[in-house]
Amino acid sequence: MKTYFHNLDGLRFFAFLSVFISHIVLFLGYHNESLFFTKFKQLFLVQGDLGVNFFFVLSGFLITYLLFQEIKKSSTIKLSSFYMRRILRIWPIYFIVIILGFFIIPPIAKMVGGDFPFSTLSDVSVIPWYLLFVANISMTFQNAPNIFVAVLWSISVEEQFYLIWPLLMKKFSHKTFGYIILFIILVSFFGRLPFVYHYGLSQYFTISVMSALAVGAGLAYCVEYTKIKKYFIKISRRKIVLLYILIFSLVPFKGALSDIFIDGSYRFLYAIIPLVFSILFALVIAEQNYCENSLFKIGKKKILTYLGKISYGLYAYHLIAVFIVLSFVKTIGLHTKYTNLYLYFTIIISSFLLTILISHLSYKYIEKRFLKLKEKFTV
């Protein structure tokens, strides 16, 4: 029987939403120099890396949990089937975005007239990095050619994880694997620590972000091989409320850190914050999956569940949708760099709805076809 966690799709949507909010603030061309907007943006709006962090934790949990189930069922991992499942799930949209971002959108942007509030260039010299799923390494040391393909950096990290993880799980026993997970978390933290002042190394480099995937894997390990699942089942509502209060309280704290000069005193804080959020996100996943006293189960909201199901498309296509909306704005004679608040919200809503439409069509007519093929390789 196929394992399915009913409450995780909705969580995926909220992870995407944090990325979307961050990007619309950065890339929609709205210009506002007021102190309030600047501070609000810094503390709350440009926190899209938290959404990516959540995606990583969730992926680490799901992949590790499912592989543990496969080991329990058949005493091994069928690597060819695992890799085919990942290929069928990830590659179609990934390569669609590569084709659009490198070959189709740049010439269209040139025809429309350029002058967008973001780069629409096409540097084909970096395509090999994307084809080999190491786009994050490229972005560690140089800027992405344009925002449309830039979002693929996190997909590259996940593909690297998918390549190595089943090999490790197949080789080592579950008793040893717990130590391996802890080791990876520590290596990721201490690897990030010296480079917190280097945005690329701290945000995109595989070692720096691997702690989030490992924390998710650690949750799967604890659920399967420790008694912690019983604790999650009976956790009180009071503790659940405190968990969410803590998460929402730490968001502005993280934003405020950008005002603190990074020296020896604060380097540790910069490095530990992503790990702290990863652990908190793992607790949210556990609460939604197992807790009997949850304030709400997000899986009960069908619209959120569906938006979560198409969240890969939402994440991959949303900046393309932004480009389409801004191109329309430009063709009707309006500026794509502006201070008009009403125009800003109109573009936000239009971009959001268009993202959903594109993702829905992609899921219905493209992804579902590959997902059906994927079932043939399900254990």
Q: How many domains does the chain have?
A: 1
- The least confident of 112-126, 227-241, 304-318 is 112-126
Task: Look at residue 282 and tell me if it is in a domain.
Answer: yes
Task: Look at residue 283 and tell me if it is in a domain.
Answer: yes
CA distance 295 to 289: 13
pLDDT at 263: 58
Using DSSP's 3-state secondary structure scheme, residue 28 falls into coil
CA distance 185 to 300: 33
121 class by beta-carbon count within 10 Å (0-12 exposed, 13-18 middle, 19+ buried):
middle
Domain that holds residue 249: 8-377
pTM, two decimals, is 0.96
State which amino acid sits at residue 159: E
Pick the residue with more confidence: 379 or 354? 354
Does 265 have pLDDT greater than 70?
no
Task: Look at residue 122 and tell me if it is in a domain.
Answer: yes
The 10s digit of each residue's pLDDT in 162-180 is 999 999 999 999 889 999 9
Portion of the chain with pLDDT greater than 90, in percent: 87
Task: Look at residue 2 and tell me if it is in a domain.
Answer: no
pLDDT at 264: 61
Task: Look at residue 322 and tell me if it is in a domain.
Answer: yes
Mean pLDDT, residues 310-323: 98
Confidence of residue 379 (pLDDT cuts 50, 70, 90): low
DSSP letter assigned to residue 117: S
Mean pLDDT, residues 244-268: 83
pLDDT at 262: 58
Task: Look at residue 3 and tell me if it is in a domain.
Answer: no
Task: Look at residue 1 and tell me if it is in a domain.
Answer: no
- The DSSP code sequence of 185-226 is HHHHHHHHGGGTT-HHHHHT-HHHHHHHHHHHHHHHHHHHHS
Confidence of residue 109 (pLDDT cuts 50, 70, 90): very high
Q: Which residues 6+ apart lie within 8 Å of 288 measured at CB?
A: 5, 7, 8, 11, 294, 297, 298, 299
